[in-house]
């Protein structure tokens, strides 16, 4: 059984991937239209659509951050107490993995 919080995180991740895919498709279409129609298509409309999707991506990112902070707070961890490491195993680079 999954929790509503886990389902929310999954739904946000799916939405983010779908938006990113839509942006890639729009950019690809714009490139093709540039090649085939030059100036005969509404390029401004496509740029506006991409800008709107960018805004939606930002909203999803903010919501993901908010959900993460909510989960951390409910577990007794303040978001400011977390430190991200570039090395997931905590090793110092150049130590040969020892």
pLDDT on residue 88: 46
How far apart, in whole angstroms, are the C-alpha atoms of residue 80 and residue 12?
23
Inform me whether the pLDDT recorded for 1 exceeds 90.
Answer: no
Q: What CA–CA distances, in Å, run from 9 to 42, 60, 81, 83? A: 36, 10, 21, 21
Q: Is residue 69 part of a domain?
A: yes
Q: Residue 32 domain-assigned?
A: yes
Which residue is it, tokens 């490491």? 85
Residue 33 lies in a domain: yes
Residue 21 resides in a domain: yes
Residue entry with tokens 């509404």: 42
Rounded distance between C-alpha atoms, residue 52 and residue 19, angstroms: 10
The number of folded domains in the chain is: 1
Give residue 98's pLDDT.
39
pLDDT band with cut points at 50, 70 and 90 for residue 61: very high
88 domain-assigned: no
Q: Which two tokens stand for residue 59?
A: 């909203």
Does residue 18 lie in a domain region? yes
* Alpha helices (H) in the chain, listed in sequence order: 4-37, 43-74
What range defines the domain where residue 65 resides? 4-77
Other beta carbons within 10 angstroms of residue 89's beta carbon come to 6
Segment 75-97 mean pLDDT: 54
């Amino acid at each position: 059984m999954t929790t509503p919080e886990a389902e929310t995180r999954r739904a946000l991740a799916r939405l983010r991937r779908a938006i990113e895919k839509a942006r890639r498709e729009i950019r690809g279409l714009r490139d093709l239209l540039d090649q085939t129609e030059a100036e005969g298509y509404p390029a401004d409309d496509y740029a506006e659509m991409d800008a709107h999707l960018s805004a939606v991506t930002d909203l999803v990112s903010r919501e993901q951050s908010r959900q993460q902070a909510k989960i951390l707070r409910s577990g007794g961890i303040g978001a400011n107490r977390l430190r991200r490491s570039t090395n997931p195993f905590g090793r110092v680079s150049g130590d040969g993995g020892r």
